[in-house]
Amino acid sequence: MLILVLNCGSSSIKFRLYDMKDETQLASGLVERIGSDDAIFSYKTYKFEGSKDTLSIKNHSIGLSVILNKLTSEDVGVIKDVSEIDSVGHRVVHGGEKFSTSILINQEVIDEIEKSIPLAPLHNPPNLSGILACKEVMPNTPQVAVFDTAFHHTLPDYAFIYPLPYELYESDKIRKYGFHGISHRYVSLEAAKMMGKKLDELKIITCHLGNGASMAAIKNGKSIDTSMGFTPLEGLMMGTRCGSVDPAIVFYLMRTKNLTVDQVDNLFNKKSGLLGISGISNDARDVVAAAKSGDYRAKLALQIFAYRVKHYIGAYAAAMGGLDTIVMTAGIGENTEQIRELALSDLEFLGVKLDKNRNNTDLKKSREISADESKVKVFVIFTNEEIMIARDTKEILDRIN
């Protein structure tokens, strides 16, 4: 069974084509700068090192056609005809309250995703464009939506409802949704595998630390709390996002600095986080380099980032009534040993003991980084949201066929 996985952004389409017989990745690539005359199309396959072309791509439908033409091309293609693709799996950021699992896409699902646009105005419209492009270009191929919010549907009401007037939850569905669910789910499954245990007997904290960052408390395989909220702004410090701050800072800035709503939005989402504190970059690599050369604000940025991770580790261990495993994943979690060390130090009271040597040895693969005597196992696990989407898509196809 061949499954095409698509992750559509406002001006991009990331794709991977899998042969689900053995989960081989046949081809992958990225279309960037959709909407312009100099869009960039990168492409590689299991037998072709790769190409990068600049061409005019006006919209997602044209972007998808360009991808399909390449996948079926004589010289570097991996299939003969588009009809060989059994299904397309889409990453959809926001499923609202409606979708608690992945689902076969029909008109009703499209309408619901559209209804969720006010909840994710930056993400759901391009996700929808990808779905509509597939409907247009490959109308007979079943499509599946895999939601980033779905995994967190198991949060109890006392964890997902904010202490605002209850009517706001009823009328506007203002509540914690949580994001990065596909990644939290994938790495928790991998962690259980690496421990040789069943997921449903473990208490796991997963730390997805990338440019966007969130953590989840996963008890017996179910997410019971997560740090992102109504939007991906809540929780941890991120590349350019502030994470949780006193909401009264919004009123203060608007009243005393005369900032508009959009200006505060921009300040919190684009100018804060690692970038805002360091004044150097949102990229952890630049901040680590500056901290190493003694820059005070860069060091502070790393400390704040790590302190917030530690803060949630304590909170989630308490929420789950114990802790077996911590997983570090995504760009920073997988690669930045300085932040891992800061976040995981002095946690022996919780049963967490890092092995500094394991933590500092960059093996470019998933591994344990806790000491042998650590009661809580700590892993670096390379996330793979695409394979999770492909697996869900296959499962749904298997069910309907």
Cβ distance to ligand AMP smaller for residue 210 or 243 = 210
Our CB check for ligand AMP shows the closer of 237 and 332 to be 332
CA distance 243 to 344: 20
Q: Which of 175, 183, 169, 176 is nearest to 218 (CA)?
A: 183
Minimum CB distance to ligand AMP, residue 399 (Å): 31
Q: Cβ(235)–Cβ(227) under 8 Å?
A: yes
Q: Which residues bind ligand AMP (CB under 6 A)?
A: 210-211, 239, 283-285, 330-332, 335-336
To the query of whether residue 262 is one of the catalytic residues in this protein, the response is no
Residue 29 or 96: the one with the smaller Cβ distance to ligand AMP is 29
Q: Which is nearer to ligand AMP, 89 or 239 (CB)?
A: 239
Helix (H) / strand (E) element for 307: namely helix 296-320
Buried b or exposed e, range 251-275, using 16+ CB within 10 angstroms: eebeeeeebeeeebeebbbeebbbb
Q: How far is the CB of 4 from ligand AMP (least distance, A)?
A: 22
For ligand AMP, the nearest residue by Cβ is 331
Q: How far apart are CA 86 and CA 26, in angstroms?
A: 14
Catalytic residue among 22, 75, 148, 295: 148
DSSP string, 96-153: TTT-SS-EE--HHHHHHHHHTGGGSTTTHHHHHHHHHHHHHHSTTS-EEEEESSGGGG
Shortest distance, CB of residue 367 to ligand AMP, whole angstroms?
15
Please say which residue, 317 or 332, places its beta carbon nearer to ligand AMP. Answer: 332
Question: Largest Cα–Cα distance in the chain?
Answer: 64
For 79, 234, 236, 292, the CA distances from 230, given in Å and listed in that order, are 41, 8, 14, 36
Q: How far is the CB of 208 from ligand AMP (least distance, A)?
A: 8
Catalytic annotation, residues = 148
